[in-house]
A and B are shown apart, each in its own frame.
Chain A
C-alpha cells in the first residue's frame, strides 16, 4: 500500500507501475488530469465511484484491489 488517505487505503501506484503506465498515461485514459492520479496515489484525494471504476477497468483489476477501507 502506498501513501494513504485517512478514509481510504490505496495500492494505485504499485498497480499502475505493474501495468507499465505512467501517471500521464493513466490520466489520459481515465480522462482526468495527471494531478488527480498523483493526488489519489499520495492519499490526498478520494476519487469518485466513476473514476475508481474507470481506473480499475484500465488496470484490469477489481476496485477492491486498488482501494480498501481502513479496518
Chain B
C-alpha cells in the first residue's frame, strides 16, 4: 500500500458515497435527475466493503516500513480531528432532521422518509470525510 493507492481507494469510496447519498436526498425531495435501478444501491456498500477489507489486510499483512509512514502519529491525529468534525456535523444534522419533523401528522410514511433523510445525510458526511482523507494522502503522494 502507498499513499497514492490509499488515496485512490478512499477517494473512489468517498465519491461513490457522495453520489448515492445525494441521489437519495434528491429523491426524498422529489427531484429526479436520474433514475437508478434499486439494485444499484448495493454499489457503495460493496465498494466500501472491498476497500476497507483491502486496507485492513494491507495494514496487518503489508510492508511494515510503508505502514509506519501510512499510519503514523500525525496522520492519526489528522484523521481523528476530521472524524470528530464529521461526528459533530452528523450530530447537528440528525438533531435538525429530528427537530423539523411534523409529529402532529406522524405516520409510517413520514417515519420512513425521516429514516432515509438520516441515513443519506450521514452517508453524505461520511463520503465527504473520505474525500477529505484522500486529499491528504494525495498531497503526501505528490509532495512526498
Contact = CB atoms under 8 A, between A and B. Distances in A.
Interface in B87-144: 136, 139-140, 143-144
B5 to A, nearest CB: 14
A27 B69 CA distance: 8
Interface string B23-67: 000000000000000000000000000000000000000000100
B3 A33 contact: yes
Interface residues of B, number: 15
Contacts of B72: 31-33, 36
Given A24-B144, A27-B144, A32 B77 contact: no
Contact of A35 (B65, B68, B139): B139
Contact residues of A: prevailing secondary structure = helix
Contact of B74 (A24, A28, A31, A35): A35
A34 B72 CA distance: 10
Nearest to A44: B74
A32 B75 CA distance: 9
Contact of A36 (B65, B73, B139, B143): B73
Contact of A32 (B73, B136, B143): B73
A53 B11 CA distance: 34
